[in-house]
Structure 1
Amino acid sequence: MEVASGIYTRLIFPNAKTESPLSDLQKAMLDATPDCIKIVSPDGHVLTMNRAGCEALGVPQDSGFGMPWLPLLPPEVHPLGREALQKAADGENARFPGKSISPTGIRYWDNLLTPLIDGSGQVLSILCVSRDITSKTQLENQLEEAIEREKLLSAEMHHRIKNLFSVVSGLIGISEREAAAPDSSVSITKILRDKLGALARASDAVFAQGIKGNPDAATIDLAAVVQAVMQPYGDRCTAVGGSVSVPRNSITTFALLLHELATNSVKYGSLSTDHGSVTIQWSMEGKTLNLTWIEIGGPLISSSPEPRGFGSEMVDRIVRSSGGAINRTWRAEGLVADLHLPMG
């Protein structure tokens, strides 16, 4: 053990004079390894450290050492470090995951602490070998994040499927009541198909916008939704408004709202004639969306229609359920509906 004794004397007491011819070779060997190797006193002070350790912890190689070890590490690893250090000071091997932060970035380490014990069983110092496991840790973190994303995606899909069933169930009920209205001559199948078509076009617009931009964005441009829902009416529908973002979870509301207004217009308003048209304009005032539906060129209106049809009641329910309000003005040239919907 004379050789080992000479080596450890150099490590444990850096300033001690030794005649061991291997001491310089030992230092060169330690500096050559990429592992962070340090000798720590039982009370946690750094006695010496190789080049890799100095670079990882930002300690000058000519510092003389003697500083506390754990404060050189990020605070979040201190509890595990203290536990491992105490275990090693009691004469047991210990291990804990560590981390270092330097100008080159964050590095992760597997720290193995081995107590150096003399013949009487006293712990003279602690050898700590820290192996860089950054790549492995990053891969594990990426895997955990991917698993978490899959869990969230699965939960979101389940939620959306339930919502889809709820929407379809509601649309079936609405279509049944609308088809049963005294003035209706359209089958429930046609009514339901039209409503689902409006939702499908709105959904396509949202999906297409997500592909072009951020697919995970919480909001969608209102103009895309309006243009998609009103597509069947071609140039008879004009959309006017600036860039306004609406929550994704409001798309169903907007699609049904615009579809019902268009359906009423086809039955009784400007879209029921060959030359009538609709203008939809919008603006934001604070957190309130102001949207105006303007019809011209339809049958002349002499007074407010009475009684109100099921479609109008449907629109009112949609607006109220969103916490908004709607006001109708029946002009001779057509309906003007002002909607005010909170967006936040």
Structure 2
Amino acid sequence: MNADEQDSIDSLRERLRRLEAAVDAAGLGVWEWDVRKGALTWNDRNRELLGITHDRPVVIDDYLGQVHPDDLEAVQATYREAADRPEGGELICEFRTPPGPDGASRWLQQRARVVKDAEGVRRVVGATLDITDRKTAEQRRSLVLRELAHRAKNGFMIMMTIVSQTARNATDVKAFADVLTARLHAMVDCQELVTQVAGRSLPLGDLLGRALTPFDANRFDIGPGVREIQVANDAVVAVALLIHELATNAVKYGALSSTTGRVRLCVLDAPQGHVHLRWQEQGGPLVTAPSSRGFGTRLLDVSLRNNGGRVEAHFDPEGFRADIHFPMGRI
């Protein structure tokens, strides 16, 4: 081997080393499928992403088995579309893996090139990238946007109800303006609490003081020990939104839609370190269970579950009741 040949080999080896380093740094799974032989070649990262051990060869069924059943048809359709093109070409697909032992799925993106010859598809060469973080961020952003739209709609409805109820009891224009302004300020204050929480637990009394003022706090009976409950920092937003949602629904449909209706909050026995708070409506219209759960109810239930809590809704004919469970915060 002469010097020029050795230099060429060394150059190729260096390029390969750089390519492998770049692939590793990007976390890419690299693979090739020899369609006619049915053979798959995966690098270690691709095996890791798709949950296939290193102790055996892989076949196409291994790959298909690691695509979530709900996404499998779309993945296969993407491949067929590229394979049907005369020249072959690129394909891009995104899919979930089946849930793992923790119940979570991983989002993967695959980019590949379909190589064809006169006899049809010869091989498919591609790369796999974990996009779980991106997908999670997109889902959170979508949830936030939906929640904001929901809050805005509820806000307008609450304001209209506040105006109506304030006008009903006002003796003159000034009294009406003063009470209305105070209630609207309290409503804004409650929204600030939801979005700006200090890095500590919060007494439930402070939360209730803001959350319930827009709904006429005089119509709420707060039982012994309720105000002293400490709400953990990471649960304050969820609990504040829940109280706001329950009061909103009480104004629109429940006890607070009637002039004689009231709401009682009390503390019931709970395991050590946990809180069992009951929201009980009475004196309102006859209650019937809804045919489906609203977006707000679903969101708040999920929020509390993410913080180790839950909400149990009971549509008793004499008055709606909610049992709210969440971990107690530390002082």
TM-score by length of 2: 0.49
Higher relative contact order (CA 8 A, sep 6+): 2
TM-score by length of 1: 0.47
